[in-house]
Structure 1
Amino acid sequence: MKIIETCLKDCFVIEPRVFGDSRGFFFESFNQKTFSSLVGGGFEFVQDNHSKSSKGVLRGLHYQIKQPQGKLVRVVQGAVFDVAVDLRKSSSSFGKWFGTVLSEENRLQMWVPPGFAHGFAVLSETAEFLYKTTDFYAPEHERCIIWNDKSLGIDWQISGDPLLSNKDINGVNFADAEVYP
């Protein structure tokens, strides 16, 4: 695996080593020892999630103010524009965002550490999105920043209005969001 640094402190894109031939392909999508050596130790995954969404769906920007989740995310079908926002006040990249296309073709993954908000917009007709988390889902601690916050200025790579859940419609502005120390 190869690690690709982003403009956000501690947030990385991970490119797996893919072995392919006329029969298909193989790659190791996760190895705890390799992952720890790439991003640093101390992270253990406790939950795997799988979602399927249609084109134009935007999910996010989600985070948990308590029980913050680190997320290792990837796409196994289709393509998304994946976004992380640093919510750690003590970080040199606080309030900045990074986004990249994750797809079944490029097989890239993104490591979104605890202390970040996360979201994605579906670029293909459908997309299946997988992610591992470092803590359990805790709806009572979940928060949402509005996807189109002007101060963040995220270019979601979609045209028209996205399809949103009520939670995402009612997200707060970044200036009003609870953040991490």
Structure 2
Amino acid sequence: MNVIPTQLPGVLVIEPNVFGDERGFFYESFNARALAQATGLELNFVQDNHSRSRQGVLRGLHYQLQDTQGKLVRVTVGEVLDVAVDIRRSSAHFGQWVAVRLSAQNHRQLWVPEGFAHGFVVLSEVAEFLYKTTDYYNPQAERCLRWDDPTLAIDWQLDEAPQLSAKDQAGQWLRDADLFP
């Protein structure tokens, strides 16, 4: 596998080795030993999640203050713009974000460690998004930042306003949010 650091330390793009021919393709979407050898990360995933969304749906920016989750994310159908935001006040990169296109065609994955808010917007007609988490979902600990916070100024690469859940519409501004120390 190929591991590409992003401008945010700890957030990694992971490109698996894909073997393909006229019949299709094969790749290991997760191998704990190979990931540890390539990144130094020894992760214990406890939950897998799968969502399907239409074009223009934006999910995020989500995080949990307790039972924090590291996430290994990928797309199996379509394409998304995936975003991670450093929300650790003590970090030299606080408030900075990185965006990566993940698609069924490029097979890329993104590792989003604890201490980061995460979200994505669907760029294709439909997208199926899968992710592994390092802790169980705790709805009482979940928080949400506004996708359109001008302090963050995330370029979501949208031509029109996204479709949001009620939870995401009620997201907090970075300046008002409960964040990591």
TM-score normalised by L of structure 1: 0.97
Q: Distance in 2 between matches of 1:57 and 1:11?
A: 23
Amino acid corresponding to residue 27 of structure 2 in structure 1: F
| Structure 1 contact 7–93 (Cα < 8 Å) conserved | no
The equivalent residue for 1:43 is: 43
Q: Deviation per CA, 1:4-56, whole angstroms, max 9, x where unpaired?
A: 01011100000111111111111111011121233333421000000000000
The equivalent residue for 2:34 is: 34
Q: Which runs of 5+ in 1 are unaligned?
A: none
Amino acid corresponding to residue 115 of structure 2 in structure 1: G
| Structure 2 contact 19–26 (Cα < 8 Å) conserved | yes
- Offset at residue 88 of structure 1 (A): 1.6
Does residue 99 of the first structure (1) align with residue 99 of the second (2)? Answer: yes
The equivalent residue for 2:162 is: 162
Q: Distance in 2 between matches of 1:38 and 1:160?
A: 39
- Offset at residue 90 of structure 1 (A): 2.4
| Structure 1 contact 50–128 (Cα < 8 Å) conserved | yes
Q: Distance in 2 between matches of 1:44 and 1:28?
A: 17
5 Å matches for 1:169-180? 169-180=169-180
- Offset at residue 159 of structure 1 (A): 1.1
Q: Distance in 1 between matches of 2:179 and 2:125?
A: 34
Give the number of aligned pairs: 181
| Structure 2 contact 32–42 (Cα < 8 Å) conserved | no
Q: Distance in 2 between matches of 1:170 and 1:80?
A: 22
Describe the SS at the equivalent of 2:60: strand
Does residue 87 of the first structure (1) align with residue 100 of the second (2)? Answer: no
Q: Distance in 2 between matches of 1:60 and 1:77?
A: 19
Question: Percent identity, aligned pairs only?
Answer: 58
Q: Distance in 1 between matches of 2:48 and 2:39?
A: 19
Describe the SS at the equivalent of 1:45: coil
Q: Deviation per CA, 1:96-148, whole angstroms, max 9, x where unpaired?
A: 00001100010100000011100000000100000000000000000000000
The equivalent residue for 2:58 is: 58
Stretches of 4+ aligned residues off by more than 3 angstroms: none
| Structure 2 contact 87–179 (Cα < 8 Å) conserved | yes
Q: Distance in 2 between matches of 1:149 and 1:44?
A: 33
Does residue 144 of the first structure (1) align with residue 129 of the second (2)? Answer: no
Q: Distance in 2 between matches of 1:104 and 1:52?
A: 13
Q: Distance in 2 between matches of 1:120 and 1:113?
A: 16
Q: Distance in 1 between matches of 2:144 and 2:122?
A: 18
TM-score normalised by L of structure 2: 0.97
Amino acid corresponding to residue 6 of structure 1 in structure 2: T
